Structure 1
Amino acid sequence: MDVFETRLLLRRTTCMTGAEAASVFYDPARFQRAGAAPAPLQKTLFGKGGVQGLDGEHHRQRKAMFLQINHPDRVEALAEVVSREWGEAVADWTTADQIDLYAQVQVLLTRAVCEWAGVPLSEAEAETRARQLAALFDEAGAIGLGHLRSRAARKATERWAADLIEQIRSGQLEVSDSSAASVIANHQEPDGQPMTPRVAAVELLNVLRPTVATSVYITFVAHALDTHPVWRERLARGDGNEDLAFVEEVRRHYPFFPAVAAIVREDFQWRDHRFPRGRRVLLDLYGTNRDGRYWDDPERFNPDRFLGEEPDRFAFVPQGGGDPAVHHRCPGEPISTRLMGVALEHLARHMTYTPVVPAALSAIDYGRLPALPDRGFRIRNISSRPA
């Protein structure tokens, strides 16, 4: 069934799945993003005023800003910083009895993205900022104390980022013109005015937070390498040409967040189903990425499927669908795939280690947002492998 109705947070909601559904969902004439995200996520994961909730020309200009920040040359520069940080981290990990890969990667990614983005970060505050940035996505969908921690982290990081924006605008803080912090601080809205410091802070966090959130996908890379030893050996012996295929299959096979939301602009019909104006609609990302009508043997982990032509942009939707310049597909997707590739390079070819709990004994906890191995992914006996 491609479409059905249910209730979510006491609100009638329509759910959609599949490539054809995704092509409808990402039609800006039919759907808007303003008001789509549930209030708890606006106060934690996204922040108010960010690109995720914009439409029309406002969205196009804000998205262009992010595409400038994520220019291929800049993405490669970030990858170089992450690779350096990873190598330095491994030197520390070798002296530890064991490490939690997910938590440690968050810290190294925080150091790297702040340096790259033009955000000053002392060594003393690196772990604190890593915890705060992680709380924005790791506990965004939690209830109780987890949600409160995420909201507290949102307030703290927005104050921090807004202060940086004001320092850049006043000339108190000098940063590279190509840095994310500079691009955001100097961005002009459709009315020719800069964003308010608070909204600019939200957008700066929309660079830092998703980069640190790549720690989820990197944990999945490690889990997949341990689950599929044939592929681990194949990649270890390879020259890197198959790395991206493995990364893309990880993004297809493993879930991050299960769905995205939009609001119907005007009444329309699709598949004999009525979509009334104002209705919240969810697109099933996980199910679309495993839809047997498009994917051959979808439950099988098979990176070979990505060694041919690129998949349809509405069938492969781990971080949204369509064209990132036009639709609400994540503009940071190139950062995710490139940093997953950096992690794969180190895990498969530059390190040796032993999982504390083999991946085969640690199932993915789909009840968690984001999903992660239910027994974590801790590693021991860590050493560097000569290049």
Structure 2
Amino acid sequence: MDSTLALATEGYAWLPDLWRRRQGPLVRTRLLGRRAVVLRGVDAVGFFYDERHVQRRTALPDPVVATLFGHGAVHTLDGAAHRTRKALFTHLLSDADDVSALTDEVTAAWDAAVPDWADRAEVVFFDEASVVLTRAVTRWAGVPEGDEAETRALAADLVAMVDGFATLGPRHWRARRARARQEARLAELVEAVRARDAAAPEGSALAAVAAHRDADGAPLSARVAAVELLNVLRPTVAVSWFAAFAAHALHRWPEHRAELADPAYAHAFADEVRRFYPFAPFVAGHAVDDLTWRGEPIAAGTLVLLDLYGQNHDPALWDEPYTFRPARFTGRATDPDALVPQGGGDPATGHRCPGEPVTRALLAALAGRLAALPYELPDQDLTIPLTRIPTRPRDAIRLHVPKPAA
């Protein structure tokens, strides 16, 4: 039975519902008329991200590439080409000093923005978090900083690229237009850097993409360099989704506010937000050969889905998975292939997001600052629709920040 309609109507709940109805080492279904199997679990993550088993490149539909990743992006590569391009990102996003520097930029941008919030009747926290993150990551990446209106326009475009990848409606076409605008703008910047008509700070993301050479020794075209620069900016701004979820969690469970002053607890809180709330529903690839998973055959060419949202709520991996409990991440190491809100595998050699340490650090910093901020939540709709991908609280967390006492 084809599950395409069920995916459209159930969203994040689609795969968990399939698992509940069809227990076994994998679930068989059809999607867009194609045979598909669904996997989950720590061992399944290793199986899925092994390039001898599953190829990611051929499974990315054009609507996703044209909005979220960009044509020619690292996500569309496999094998040696992928590893060489991926090294560009792991170098930029995995070093502790670089993560710390970006975190410092974000906290500085937050501290500069907050006084203005008190001058307004209310602010939409999701939107303001996206502007803070945009201002910070452009500075960190070496991209020339615009004025307030330009920064907000860039933030809106970066948000649109994420918001429109999983729909064919107005959000999707907004995402395509946003990507076209920003790819053209950043391609011109890359060309100016290469012609020495613009400066790229040493060690910056702008300098790295302008100078990068692929596995064949050729430099990136200016457009692909712009795509990869956006693949630094866009995922950073996507932390806005997690920031809104953190605000939602603090409203529902305010007892965590005081503990967020502890950096270790803030990181545990960030991990629980990433586990508990819906972000990526699944990732997909194609079986490169006839495979076997726990005695079950998988024919070559079959669509293989790794159930991320379901795995993050799997009672076999998480005690009381639908209870929000940051303490589950304190005092013990977590298998990286158990917690997979942004995918799994080895970030250096596979398709796991190399910016995951950045996401954790930024979310912990933003959650700590939000917890310390006096604010009120006006009446609003805080429901999180599981049928919308990517989802967020319906009113995007509206805040009233009172003016400080004189």
CA shift, 1:320, in A, is 1.2
CA shift, 1:338, in A, is 1.0
Deviations 1:134-175 (A, max 9, x none): 110012212222211111111111111211111111111111
Q: Is the 8 A contact 1:91 1:384 kept in 2?
A: no
Q: Is the 8 A contact 2:85 2:215 kept in 1?
A: no
CA shift, 1:250, in A, is 0.6
Give SS of 1:353's match.
coil
1:175 & 1:199 partners in 2: Cα distance? 17
Q: Match of 1:332?
A: 355
Q: Does 1:229 align with 2:251?
A: no
Q: Does 1:73 align with 2:97?
A: yes
Q: Is the 8 A contact 1:353 1:383 kept in 2?
A: no
1:333 & 1:262 partners in 2: Cα distance? 21
Q: Match of 1:216?
A: 241
**Which one of 372, 386, 401 corresponds to residue 366 of structure 1?**
386
**Which one of 169, 173, 182 corresponds to residue 157 of structure 1?**
182
- Give the direction of change, closer, same or farther, for the CA distance of 1:288–1:171 in structure 2 (3 Å limit): same
CA shift, 1:383, in A, is 4.8
Q: Match of 1:15?
A: 38
Q: Which amino acid aligns with 2:286?
A: I
After alignment, is 28-37 or 6-15 more displaced? 6-15
Give SS of 1:261's match.
strand
Q: Does 1:90 align with 2:110?
A: no
Q: Does 1:115 align with 2:139?
A: yes
Q: Does 1:181 align with 2:206?
A: yes
CA shift, 1:299, in A, is 1.2
- Give the direction of change, closer, same or farther, for the CA distance of 1:240–1:339 in structure 2 (3 Å limit): same
Give SS of 1:299's match.
coil
2:45 & 2:402 partners in 1: Cα distance? 43
CA shift, 1:24, in A, is 1.2
Answer 1 or 2: which has greater strand percent: 1
**Which one of 188, 192, 200 corresponds to residue 167 of structure 1?**
192
- Give the direction of change, closer, same or farther, for the CA distance of 1:9–1:234 in structure 2 (3 Å limit): same
Q: Which amino acid aligns with 2:384?
A: I
CA shift, 1:20, in A, is 2.3
2:290 & 2:145 partners in 1: Cα distance? 49
CA shift, 1:67, in A, is 1.1
CA shift, 1:385, in A, is 10
After alignment, is 89-98 or 269-278 more displaced? 269-278
Q: Does 1:297 align with 2:317?
A: no
After alignment, is 23-32 or 212-221 more displaced? 23-32
2:274 & 2:405 partners in 1: Cα distance? 27
CA shift, 1:240, in A, is 2.4
2:258 & 2:222 partners in 1: Cα distance? 49
Q: Is the 8 A contact 1:246 1:303 kept in 2?
A: yes
Q: Is the 8 A contact 1:167 1:173 kept in 2?
A: yes
Q: Which amino acid aligns with 1:68?
A: H
How many pairs align? 381
Could you tell me the percent identity over the aligned residues? 43
Runs of 4+ in 1 over 4 A off after TM superposition: 383-386
| Runs of 5+ consecutive residues of structure 1 not aligned to the other structure | none
Deviations 1:246-291 (A, max 9, x none): 1101101111121111111111111333222222211110111111
Give SS of 1:163's match.
helix
Length-normalised TM-score, structure 1: 0.94
Give SS of 1:263's match.
strand
Length-normalised TM-score, structure 2: 0.90
1:181 & 1:261 partners in 2: Cα distance? 30
Q: Does 1:200 align with 2:220?
A: no
Give SS of 1:242's match.
helix
